[in-house]
Structure 1
Amino acid sequence: MAPFDLENIQGDIWPGLPKRQEVFLFFRIADDASQRQKFKEYLRNLIPDITTAKAVLDARARIREEKDKTAADDEASKLLPWSGVNIAFSSTGLAALGKHIMNTKVNMEEIRRDPAKWRELKKNQIRGDLFDKGMFDDLVYEGWDDPQELRREYKKDPETKQRQIDGVVFVASSTQKQLEKAVGLVKEKLHMRDIDDDIDEDAACKLILTRKGKARPRQLKGKEHFGFQDGISQPQLEGLDPPPKGEKEPKAVPPGLILIGHDGDALKQPAWTKDGSFMVFRDLQQLVPEFDQFLEDNAHASRSTEKSPASANKLGALIMGRWRNGTPVDLNPHDDNDPSLYRSNNFNYTPVGSHDRCPFAAHIRKMRPRADLDDDEAVIIRRGIAYGPEVSEEEKRNKKTSKERGWASNHHFPSNKYDAVGLSGPGIDGIAGQRLAHHPPRNMGLPDGKKPSEARLSLGAWVTHKGGEYFFTPSLKALREDLSSAPLQAKL
């Protein structure tokens, strides 16, 4: 296996930026050719501030050292001042920088007939129709996003009919002060103007949208707003992560499933994309009081919940696939009281034809079916962070969301489960599954001791998909050699 250049890989691809606070700065590159040239020059100045995988490993080592030191001294550990910066581009952003040709704007057949143009295209063009068309066209025109629910910045510009987001800078930090300092540095180096600011001769990009996230306080740290422990199960990359220890844990996957140009990368992307990775940004709003009320109202939805002393919590566990502390229901469908199971990944849903312990439509089973698919069939690394305030007392009383906070839609996936759940199929993912107004009602099958099971749970909608975009996160080498430019020298 080829060695990894950890100073060439952006740190949020692997191993992930440490974050208590995070800001996403979505920007649009100017249309004028001279301003685009300036953006490439400004981007060159930002490259020394991009946080690499090696820098993240070094930061994590310092954090562990501080924790060990304070634990030995019986003191509370201090937050080390730290910040990290990464950058990614949509297909329109790469096109603005001269490294992508939008399939929608050219006659591809004409290019194929010209050998020189075809060679140049193959040398530069990232493969992937979804990346090319962007999330709006993919998930509104061909998917199940409701355009009425999307933030306007994720939609096309109403006047130009063009996508608005060319790139995103994400800044993570341990403290608010460090975050503000790093965000200010990014804006200064890229000469980034706010959307309503007048464009001057130095401007090369505009800030379209800012999204802010932060870790939840104290004992809720690491949990998303519904109260479930987040980020427990991540794919382990061969050669980078420690190999899984449990007999039933998912095996380590080839690094090329995440990192372009490495073992397992089947798409044969252009050479300049090596050590880069694709990033999907999804903006998800969570309706927490409504979800909690649903669990209370439906606590006795099946025999498997009505016998539980914590029936509402158990129903939530069946919908998620883990209890709120993290215990997989496949390992313990009865309670969440064994700390040794809180972060366990040593399960695989076998026998795969049964959902007596974990429903087929449980969120984590839909997202990664484990024994139902090959280990390297489909993997993603999740880097989410909660946004928005904690649920207020007023929201708890009214059982209705008034403030924004955030965090698979196929009824018949996993397939061939009709003997266990009947002809209605496993059902929709109870957390992230989408339905438009003309679709069949949302529901999922629950275990009830019968075969096939008869219990069906009608589901509400507690996650609103607010939009997002598909991005490519380039390597440091690609940023230096392919996407940025040294300042042009004035002629005397």
Structure 2
Amino acid sequence: MSNIDEKINQLHEIVTPFDDFEDEALLDEIQGNIIKAHGRNHSVHLFLQFTGDPDLVKQGISQFTHKYITSALAQAEDGKRYRQNQTVPSKIFGNLFFTAAGYQYLGYDPTQISNDPSFLKGMKHPDVNSQLGDDVQQWEAGFQQEIHALVLLAGDKRVGPRTEEAKQLERKDPKKLRKQPFLLAQQIETIKEELQIIAKVVHEDIGYVLRSSETGEEIEHFGFRDGVSQPLFLKRDIDREREESDFSQWDPRAPLSLVLSKDPLGEKEESYGSFLVYRKLEQNVKGWKKDVEALAEKLKGSEKAEPALAGAYRMGRFQDGTPVVLEDKPNSQISHENNFNYAQDPQGQKCPFQSHSRKVNPRGESKNLDEEKMNRIVRRGINYGPLPSEEPETDAGLLFLCFQANLETQFNLMQQHWCNQRNFLRPDMGTDAVIGVEKKEVDANGNLVAVTESYKWPTKWGEAGQTQADFSHWVTMKGGEYFFAPSMSFLKSFLPEPRRDIVFRGEPKQEIQAAKDKINELRDYQARNWAIGLHGDTLEPDDFLNFFNQRHLEFEFYLLNQVQLGDSDAYDRNIRTLTRYIKDVRNKEIEESEYKIAELKEYQELNWAIGFDGETIQPDQFVRFFGERHLPFQFYVQNKTLSLGDQSAYNQNIDTLNDYISFLKD
């Protein structure tokens, strides 16, 4: 076993990057979002079916990876910059995952990745449906097609130095929170066009983070805090948890082997990936609320039987996160409490055995605790559809994503043997009251209706009496699939990585023209068979070498005089280098301009000043960006001290940048 394998199998806490960091090679090789959530408020999920020649698809995959896919190290670097109030690079966060069918299309034996039958068969297979309790007939059409890959793209509002301010405004208004940021929306259209070369999009999901209007914390459509009690891998997260807990009742730490699995197709010792489960779970908010109120009414013999407690019985926590095993009402003092287990409630008189959180995380009740903790999953879900306040019955819910090292012993075991079984954790207690049955039944009239199940609930919290009451399963599975998150080296292996440290002198348009002129000059020298790199008489660096050195470009010499160096192919190699350089400069400028357009649109929506900082009356980042490119800029500032321009300035500047992008593309 290699040193890196030993680390992954041990309870190894990764320290923060750049702070005596020893695992940069590992984080640079695994995709982001696996051991740490990407943290963006918005995401788009594109389900792909590959088309065309597999070798060309592979090249397209590498090209796409170089441009969009985010490694765990890049994610960590951005996180540190953000914490230090430094500028974070303007970039969409990206993941890329493959199904077994996708690997097969590319010419790989999927058993190289895993021999797990569920991964190899796919989630649509009847055997897998039977195990998980799904009904493919209820799935959305896109999920019923063969899926080869999933692209996850995530972003936030992009408004330069005022991004955090805009995000705070967004959190205060759920309608704004649901609205997709301009940057993500416009990038998705560009990405779809690029993907058409290698694949077709067979399904698309759009997600957003719901937040409590009171606390700003993440919630799901039934109103409960989301993302509670995750396995922790990073030292920063573990240290933060230790500030609130001594880990005496529950230790949330996990070895990397819980979530990382060796990628045999990767090119490095650190090549690891992770298995992803994707399930679109529709939540009937109106039906849930009605059943919670009905349960509270049935338990009204207790003065504490109210909807908050009835909902907590089902979920295992109150909406604010308070564990129902610790309290019979919401308690802000312990709403973030995670240092508990169920030893003090062996009969389920406080937290029923069928409650969701007790079913999916028994905290040592089901078997040996160390073994049970390796059954956990790493959740990365996000919401979709109308807001809970609209009480949607369909087309809203959770895009459930979870990572793990082993599908069979983690998600599949949890869903099949824990959630779907009436006899787990005690005989005849019922399935998971939230996700135990994720399909609907057909009633006598041929209509699909929620599956109803009978449960026994504590009549009074903490006492032995029980009340029997039916509760319907208001969560319906609408489609999903199993994926593997490949290592970065595998994804990049089909095409060399483009230059990222582009250094040029002067204004971009002039720089592009200067590189074109230098290409023409090289061709002229090639026709004359003249030396390049050093002057033939003085052996001093010539203009070609100086031009390349100033831009940190590799240069090939060709001399046949006092010094013999290189060969005649050097002309063509240098021309190719400059051609790639022109392309890189163009792409970088197009990308920067697209980001600036998105910022202008966000400023327009917020009616913020452009051109001058509203408080200091100093030129802002828009003026600098336009000025560096010799582009005309229209000001719009309206405050107590200055009135300049009008609201048409936003669109005029956007049109200017679109014209600039068109020029670059031509």
**TM-score bracket relative to the smaller structure:** 0.7 to 0.9
- What corresponds to 2:134 in structure 1? 145
How far is 1:485 from its partner? 4.9
Match status 1:132 vs 2:120: yes
For 1:82-104, what per-residue CA distance to the aligned partner results, in whole angstroms no more than 9, with x for missing partners?
A: 52001000100111122225xxx
Structure 2, unmatched stretches of 5+, are 1-5, 8-21, 158-180, 400-418, 443-449, 498-666
Match status 1:469 vs 2:481: yes
How far is 1:454 from its partner? 3.8
- What corresponds to 2:54 in structure 1? 36
Preserved CA contact (<8 Å) 2:220 2:397: no
CA distance in 2, matches of 1:251, 1:217: 24
SS of the counterpart of 1:285? strand
CA distance in 1, matches of 2:465, 2:102: 50
- What corresponds to 1:63 in structure 2? 82
Preserved CA contact (<8 Å) 1:363 1:430: yes
Preserved CA contact (<8 Å) 1:88 1:167: yes
Amino acid at match of 1:38: L
- What corresponds to 2:296 in structure 1? 299
Match status 1:18 vs 2:39: yes
Number of residues of Structure 1 aligned to a counterpart in Structure 2: 409
How far is 1:475 from its partner? 1.1
- Cα pair distance change 1:355/1:217, threshold 3 Å: closer
Higher RCO structure, 1 or 2 (CA under 8 Å, sep 6+): 1
- What corresponds to 1:6 in structure 2? 27
How far is 1:325 from its partner? 0.5
- Higher mean displacement: 344-353 or 138-147: 138-147
- Cα pair distance change 1:296/1:454, threshold 3 Å: closer
SS of the counterpart of 1:242? helix
- What corresponds to 1:50 in structure 2? 69
Preserved CA contact (<8 Å) 1:362 1:429: yes
SS of the counterpart of 2:253? coil
For 1:226-260, what per-residue CA distance to the aligned partner results, in whole angstroms no more than 9, with x for missing partners?
A: 11000011012377852663311234222112111
- What corresponds to 2:396 in structure 1? 404
How far is 1:62 from its partner? 3.4
Amino acid at match of 1:328: P
How far is 1:390 from its partner? 1.1
SS of the counterpart of 1:172? strand
User: Residues 338-349 of structure 1: matches in 2 within 5 Å?
Assistant: 339-349=332-342
User: Residues 361-400 of structure 1: matches in 2 within 5 Å?
Assistant: 361-372=354-365, 373=367, 374-375=369-370, 376-391=373-388, 395=391
- What corresponds to 1:174 in structure 2? 156
- What corresponds to 1:432 in structure 2? 435
- What corresponds to 2:311 in structure 1? 316
SS of the counterpart of 1:278? strand
How far is 1:366 from its partner? 0.8
How far is 1:331 from its partner? 1.6
Amino acid at match of 1:86: N
TM-score (norm 1): 0.76
Preserved CA contact (<8 Å) 1:82 1:174: no
- Cα pair distance change 1:185/1:256, threshold 3 Å: farther
Preserved CA contact (<8 Å) 1:94 1:100: yes
CA distance in 2, matches of 1:306, 1:271: 60
Preserved CA contact (<8 Å) 2:230 2:379: yes
- Cα pair distance change 1:9/1:55, threshold 3 Å: same
SS of the counterpart of 2:433? coil
Amino acid at match of 1:281: Y
- Cα pair distance change 1:327/1:10, threshold 3 Å: same
Amino acid at match of 2:424: F
Task: Please identify which structure carries the higher helix content.
Answer: 2
Preserved CA contact (<8 Å) 1:360 1:445: no
Amino acid at match of 1:350: A
SS of the counterpart of 1:350? coil
SS of the counterpart of 1:229? coil
Preserved CA contact (<8 Å) 2:458 2:464: no
User: Residues 350-369 of structure 1: matches in 2 within 5 Å?
Assistant: 350-351=343-344, 353-369=346-362
- Cα pair distance change 1:453/1:427, threshold 3 Å: farther
For 1:414-449, what per-residue CA distance to the aligned partner results, in whole angstroms no more than 9, with x for missing partners?
A: 1xx35xxxxxx2211111110664999523332236
Picking from 207, 210, 231, the partner of 1:213 is: 207
How far is 1:141 from its partner? 4.4
- Cα pair distance change 1:53/1:79, threshold 3 Å: closer
- Percent identical pairs in the alignment equals 28
Picking from 178, 182, 188, the partner of 1:183 is: 188
Structure 1, unmatched stretches of 5+, are 70-77, 102-120, 158-163, 194-202, 262-268, 419-424, 488-492
- What corresponds to 2:329 in structure 1? 335
CA distance in 1, matches of 2:469, 2:84: 48
Preserved CA contact (<8 Å) 2:349 2:463: no
Preserved CA contact (<8 Å) 1:428 1:443: no
SS of the counterpart of 2:94? strand
- Higher mean displacement: 4-13 or 235-244: 235-244
How far is 1:274 from its partner? 3.7
TM-score (norm 2): 0.57
CA distance in 2, matches of 1:271, 1:336: 49
For 1:434-481, what per-residue CA distance to the aligned partner results, in whole angstroms no more than 9, with x for missing partners?
A: 066499952333223699754233111211110100000011012123
Picking from 273, 278, 281, the partner of 2:275 is: 278
SS of the counterpart of 1:446? strand
